[in-house]
Amino acid sequence: MQAGSVRVKTLLILRVVPLLRERVRSVPVWFPLVLAAGLLLGDQLLKAWALSNLQQGAPAIPVIPGILDWVLTFNTGAAWSMFSGSAVPLAVVRLLVGLGILVYLTLRPQTRFLSLVLSLIAAGAIGNAIDGLRFGKVTDMIHAPFLSAITRALGQGDFPIFNLADMCVVLGTLLLLLASFRRDPHTR
C-alpha cells in the first residue's frame, strides 16, 4: 500500500468519525417537543389538582413528614418573590425563552443530554408562563421543610414554596452547570 493512499484513507476517517459520533449522539427532532409537552402537562395537571384540593392559608399537608408538604400559595414574581407584581411581563419573557429553546432544539438537534436539560428548562419556563398569562400569578404547592431548615440556618428565612415547572428549570440549569465543568474527552 502506498503512503499517499494511507494518508487519504486516514483523512477520510478523521472527517467521517466526528459526523458519525454526532449523528449517534443526537436525538430525533420530536424528542424535545414530546418531553417538554409531557412535563408541561404534568405541571399543569398538578397545578389544577392543587387549585381544586388545597386552600391558600391552610396548614401544610404532610406527604413525607419533614421532607415534602402540600401548601397552596401564589407568586406574582419570580423565586423568593423577586419582581413581585410583574407576573405578566415575566410570563411573556418565560414564554419567549421556552419557545425559543424548543425552536432551537428543533432546528439544531443536540446530544441526548443537552436535549434533555434544555427541554426541562423550556417546559418549566412555559409552565410558569401559562400561569402568569392566565391568572396573573403562578400557582405553587410543593413545600420542602428540610430546605427551609437549611435556608433558615443560613439566615435567609423559609425556602420558597415551588411547583413542578420550577423543579424543571432548576434541575435543568443545575445539570447544565455541572456538565460545563466536565471535560469533553473528544477535545484532547
Q: What is the pLDDT of residues 45-58, one digit of tens each?
A: 999 999 999 999 99
Q: What is the mean pLDDT of residues 97-118?
A: 95
Q: What is the mean pLDDT of residues 168-179?
A: 95
Residue 3: is its pLDDT beyond 90?
Answer: no
Residue 14: is its pLDDT beyond 80?
Answer: no
Per the annotation, the verdict on 184 as an active-site residue is no
| Higher per-residue confidence, 2 vs 100 | 100
pLDDT at 124: 97
Q: What is the mean pLDDT of residues 141-149?
A: 94
Residue 129: is its pLDDT beyond 60?
Answer: yes
Q: What is the mean pLDDT of residues 97-123?
A: 96
- The answer to whether 147 and 96 are in contact (CB under 8 A) is no
Q: What is the mean pLDDT of residues 98-122?
A: 95
Catalytic-labelled residue, pool 43, 69, 131, 166: 166
Task: Give 138's strand partners.
Answer: 75
| Higher per-residue confidence, 24 vs 180 | 180
Give 1's DSSP letter: -
| Higher per-residue confidence, 1 vs 126 | 126
Per the annotation, the verdict on 166 as an active-site residue is yes
Catalytic-labelled residue, pool 43, 69, 131, 140: 140
From the CB of residue 77, how many other CB atoms can be counted at a distance below 10 Å?
16
Give the DSSP per-residue string, 74-119: EESSSGGGTTTT-HHHHHHHHHHHHHHHHHHHHHS--BHHHHHHHH
